[in-house]
Chain A
Amino acid sequence: MLWRAVWRAATRVPSPSPPRRGLRLRGLDQSPSPSGFSDVAPPMEETVLRPLYMDVQATTPLDPRVLDAMLPYLVNYYGNPHSRTHSYGWESEAAMEHARQQVASLIGADPREIIFTSGATESNNLAIKGVARFYKLRKKHVITTQTEHKCVLDSCRSLEAEGFRVTYLPVQKNGIIDLKELEAAIQPDTSLVSIMTINNEIGVKQPIEDIGRICSSRKVYFHTDAAQAVGKIPLNVNDMKIDLMSISGHKLYGPKGVGAIYIRRRPRVRVEALQSGGGQERGMRSGTVPTPLVVGLGTACEVAQEEMENDHKRISLLAERLIEKIMNNLPDVVMNGDPQQHYPGCINLSFAYVEGESLLMALKDVALSSGSACTSASLEPSYVLRAIGTDEDLAHSSIRFGIGRFTTEEEVDYTAEKCIFHVKRLREMSPLWEMVQDGIDLKTIKWTQH
């Protein structure tokens, strides 16, 4: 009887404090001492209030299974995978090759086509600069879009300084590129087309199969920055005719500081290495491969493959819930990006007549961002929003909500309620909102200069 009562107490999910009461208690305070079985003293009651994490596009927490897989390689199996003469090296190498197989099977590639790097930024640099420089004798043109990640745009800029021509394709109002424009932009001396699969700011999904088809028919290499897409939507490099793909570890519940690049072998894509050294990773990326990190990446990929369908279903439901709640309770809210060709876990909403920074400050117990983490330090509105044609004022008032594997329904409800409350409060204080309520069209106002 006692056991049953104790079991019931143990398995009851500790109910979080209801959102209406204000700040949520997280971290150490929520530690339940459920059963009295554990002889570890419960952690000290430091009331550390930590915000809800709704910024999964910036980074994701480590999945416990990933941490578990990494630990042995951080503690006991610390050998260098390139040491050929002893068992420390052999076991480390075996782990590295196993991880390579795990990453390859997630995207439908051959393990020999996966090169480990330090992250998607390095992979993007390697893909763009490496391919362009290798074929530079006859091919001097590269195509990309205006909504790419900063590392892609910056790599292209540095290529321009070297004498290449780069076309930055514009996107339509829904964030998706126009395929006819892409076809028109491809020239006889184009070596590479680089278009990201899922945008990290607005979550739009580009038509990768169509782009792959166009590129392969015109004999142009197709690179996609799939950092936000790998492990979240099914990807197959052969069906989608992708020649190069960048993968980021910390976007799919893996460790930070590791990534991979997929480089096709049939037909062979040649890449000029950026990093010179001992010739590791087939000479394309020299340097000791960090075994614990790549084991983490491999496990994250395997877990993602198992959990993909389940996660996608859940995240879609939660996203619908969030959007419905906010849109039904607030007028003048715009969702940026195409609503159909869209990854549900990345929601970018613009709240008219509210300043984005002040809304973020108000929502201080929810970790959110407006625009990508790389650009959050600057005061300019995001270039992605500008590329999709959002008005200046709406671009300043956009917030990105990220929903991931570990996000709960309560967190989504709390975020929605707080958001609605603060937007209403900020609008009450806004003179622009007053004018709009009086029926004045803001665009007809002539603001005088003092």
Chain B
Amino acid sequence: MAASSRAQVLDLYRVMLRESGKFTSYNYRTYAIRRIREAFRENKNVKDSAQIQILVNKAKRNLEIIQRQDPKFSHFC
């Protein structure tokens, strides 16, 4: 797998923010958006490609978690 390019990381960032916007709960939504922004900003100067890959994988796992919070279940709230 090719190392994640800048464009791919930015794409991931955009997708994560978009998916986080779908949380129906105010607290979860604001937390997700804030935390994603903070995490990407904090790591923006990482140069080591192995480290970058680890961080990107972690972000992808978190993106899956967000996507699995199915808005259909929000009717229970």
Contact = CB atoms under 8 A, between A and B. Distances in A.
A310 interface: yes
A11 B28 contact: no
A70 to B, nearest CB: 12
Contact of A68 (B17, B65, B75): B65
B21 A53 contact: no
Given A7-B18, A11-B14, A30-B24, A405 B31 contact: yes
B18 A65 contact: no
Contacts of A14: 21, 29
B41 interface: no
B18 A406 contact: no
A43 B21 contact: no
A432 interface: no
Nearest to B32: A64
Interface in B5-41: 14, 17-18, 21-33, 38
Contacts of A26: 26
Nearest to B14: A7
Interface string A1-27: 000000100110110100000000011
Nearest to A66: B65
A14 B22 CA distance: 10
A158 interface: no
B39 to A, nearest CB: 9
B68 interface: yes
A431 B33 CA distance: 48
A27 B18 contact: no
A38 B69 CA distance: 13
Nearest to B42: A310
Interface string B44-77: 0000000000000000001001101101101101
Contacts of A43: 24, 71, 74-75
Nearest to A16: B26
A34 B29 CA distance: 13
Contact of A53 (B27, B65, B68): B27
A64 B25 CA distance: 11
Contacts of B25: 27
Contacts of B68: 68, 71
Contacts of A408: 26-27, 30
Interface residues of A, number: 29
Contacts of A7: 14, 18
A28 interface: yes
A61 interface: yes
A40 interface: yes
Contacts of A35: 18
Contacts of A10: 17-18, 21
Contacts of B26: 16, 26-27, 30, 408
Nearest to B77: A27
A234 interface: no
A66 to B, nearest CB: 10
A67 B66 CA distance: 11
A365 to B, nearest CB: 13
A31 interface: yes
B27 A28 contact: no
Contact of A406 (B24, B27, B62, B75): B27
Contacts of A67: 69
A32 interface: yes
A310 B35 CA distance: 10
Nearest to A410: B30
A38 B23 CA distance: 12
Interface string A58-82: 0001001101100100000000000
B24 A28 contact: yes
Contact of A64 (B18, B33, B66): B66
A328 B32 CA distance: 32
Contacts of A71: 68
Contact of A38 (B17, B22, B27, B77): B22
B65 A64 contact: yes
14 contacts: A10-B17, A11-B14, A13-B30, A28-B74, A31-B74, A32-B21, A34-B18, A34-B21, A43-B24, A53-B27, A64-B65, A64-B69, A68-B65, A406-B31
Interface of A: 7, 10-11, 13-14, 16, 26-28, 30-32, 34-35, 38, 40, 43, 53, 61, 64-65, 67-68, 71, 310, 405-408
Complex A-B, nearest 5 residue pairs according to Cβ-Cβ distance, in ascending order: A406-B27, A31-B24, A11-B17, A10-B18, A68-B65
